Amino acid sequence: MRSTEGRKGKVYLVGAGPGDIGLLTVKGLRCLRKADVVVYDFHLNAQILNYAERGAELIYAGKRGGHHEMTQEEINRILVEKAMEGKTVCRLKGGDPFLFGRGGEEAEALSAAGVEFEVVPGVSSINGAPAYAGIPLTHRDYSSSFVVVPGNEASTKRGSNINWQALAGHSGTIVFLMAVKNIRNVSERLIDNGKPPDTPVAVIRWGTRADQRTLVSTLGEIPDAVENGEIRPPAVIVIGEVVRLRERLGWFERKPLFGHRVLVTREHAAGFEALEDLGAELLEFPTIRVVPPLSWEGLDAAIERIGSYDWIVFTSANGARFFLRRFFELDRDVRELGGIKLCAIGTKTAAAVREFGLKVDLVPETFRAEGLIEAFGGPASVRGLRILLPRAETAREAFPERIRELGGEIDLPVAYRAVRPEGRARRLRRFLKEGRITVATFTSGATFRNFLEMMGGGEAMERLRGVVIAAIGPVTSRVIREAGLEVHVVPERATVEAMVEAIIRHLTTEGS
């Protein structure tokens, strides 16, 4: 973490959007990434927290089902205290901080305490959920205005500020937030004040998310429809003629992978974007974190004698990046690599090498000992060959053993380690229990084994039995099957891109 000594803190009030992680603004993401402290609510996609700096303090301040984790006064106090400590604070709020998010109260508290702050607006569920349901709030042929009513004002309590007569007479669109529990009262009060019972109504639950559900009815029938459909909060209610456009403009729920939530057990979801493009939601739960070795001694020694090698073999993008970064950190000259041939296993690894401006001489698709030996000129050419293979702390030995059998020399310095992170598993357990994970992906045997350990073993195994399981290749697949689970997707090539393509084929052609 950055040092906070001697500097003044600042608070960013950031709108995180209504659910789809892609709706977080670029500025909001920038504020999150530089925060020392993140104070976040329940009604936001917790995947956004994966973008916080590792080591940032995460403070949950949300509420669910009326249960408050903190009072507003406590939240205000924490924001002020953390800023006074010289820290950069990101206050992450679902939707927009100044739209029914009590962001104004927090800004007032910060202002009164003399704390610098900025407001980063976000996409609100007011317009985000209807847009994903195919309902524009305004349309030249249907509505030129809209009004928004908070759910607590829609209750039957005395002293409500709603002018029901004026609201019923409003010719534009009416949006109710968090009013599902009061839907019968809303319907009755509007009809009693002259709103036609056949006015179209849409109730959108978990708008912009994989489990978005949209119920369309009329003002007179919507209370029974909500009750029979077991629609619960959080939901947005849209009343007006614009609802009729949904039949033609609905787009999100028509995507081929809509409704699927895909578990990604690697540190970053790069390569999985095609699933999102087709409507799936990615749930990142890294079970492996890549970190430097405990000691650079072995790698530094290999770099010191770099000119003695004939080949450098990179078996992964991580191996390439950790080696080359260390090479340049030691102030070595790129020209020292001029007489050495570079081998990168797979196109992703080759791309990582090219990031450093280096040309790759050999790019085999798979890491197979005999295939590489042939590429080096055959078994006879290996004798006397000196090879450097910077790799993970634990790796397969078949290739090094074969090189030595043929009379070659190979050094295997540790360039990085794959460790099990301290994951926050509570939300994932809940999603598995509720059947909200449809696909689980594993990119190595370690990602699967660590997943079971982090999730508590036996219960996780049972939950996975109802999930489509994808393994990146036969080795990973074997580890999962030996544990007693069925593997549904194994691509022909052991790459993330090939696995994603295989998942798409499985979900769209086999009806899983």
Tokens representing 265 are 């057990």
The CATH superfamily assigned to 10-123 is: Tetrapyrrole methylase, N-terminal domain (3.40.1010.10)
pLDDT, tens digit, 9 for 90 and up, residues 405-419 = 999 999 999 999 988
Question: H or E stretch including 353?
Answer: helix 347-354
Of 36, 87, 178, 455, which residue is the catalytic one? 178
Mean pLDDT of all residues in 29-56: 90
Kindly report which listed range (148-152, 166-170, 365-369) carries the lowest average pLDDT score.
Answer: 365-369
User: Using CB atoms within 10 A of its CB, is residue 296 exposed (0-12), middle (13-18) or buried (19+)?
Assistant: middle
Contacts (Cβ under 8 Å, ≥6 apart) of 147:
167, 170, 172, 173, 174, 175
Tokens representing 287 are 């079970």
pLDDT, tens digit, 9 for 90 and up, residues 226-262 = 999 889 988 999 999 999 999 999 999 999 999 999 9
**Domain 291-419: which CATH number of 3.20.20.60, 1.10.620.20, 3.40.50.10090, 3.40.50.1370:** 3.40.50.10090
Mean pLDDT of all residues in 442-462: 87
Of 10, 20, 36, 41, which residue is the catalytic one? 41
pLDDT, tens digit, 9 for 90 and up, residues 272-306 = 999 999 999 999 888 988 899 999 999 999 999 99
Q: Greater confidence, 267 or 465? A: 465
Percent of the chain exceeding pLDDT 90 equals 69
pLDDT, tens digit, 9 for 90 and up, residues 169-192 = 999 999 999 899 999 999 999 999
Of 27, 34, 63, 255, which residue is the catalytic one? 63
Could you tell me the pLDDT band of residue 428, with boundaries at 50, 70 and 90?
confident
Could you tell me the pLDDT band of residue 154, with boundaries at 50, 70 and 90?
low
Torsion 130-134-229-281 (CA) sign: negative
Let me know if 198 is a catalytic residue.
no
pLDDT given at position 471: 97
CA nearest 420: which of 280, 259, 291? 291
pLDDT given at position 342: 96
Residue with tokens 């009329």: 218
Mean pLDDT of all residues in 112-132: 97
Could you tell me the pLDDT band of residue 512, with boundaries at 50, 70 and 90?
very low
Alpha helices for 101-198 (secondary structure H): 103-112, 125-132, 164-168, 183-192
pLDDT given at position 458: 77
pLDDT, mean over the chain:
91
pLDDT given at position 2: 57
Let me know if 359 is a catalytic residue.
no
pLDDT given at position 64: 55
Q: Find out whether the peptide bond into 286 is cis, omega within 30 degrees of 0.
A: no
**Domain 127-252: which CATH number of 3.30.9.10, 3.30.450.20, 3.30.2310.20, 3.30.950.10:** 3.30.950.10
Q: Where are the domains of the chain?
A: 10-123, 127-252, 261-288+421-509, 291-419
Contacts (Cβ under 8 Å, ≥6 apart) of 289:
267, 418, 419, 420, 421
Let me know if 341 is a catalytic residue.
no
Return the CATH number of the domain spanning residue range 261-288+421-509.
Answer: 3.40.50.10090
pLDDT, tens digit, 9 for 90 and up, residues 352-388 = 999 999 999 998 877 777 778 888 888 888 899 999 9
Give the residues across from 313 on adjacent strands. Answer: 343
Q: Same CATH topology for 261-288+421-509 and 291-419? A: yes
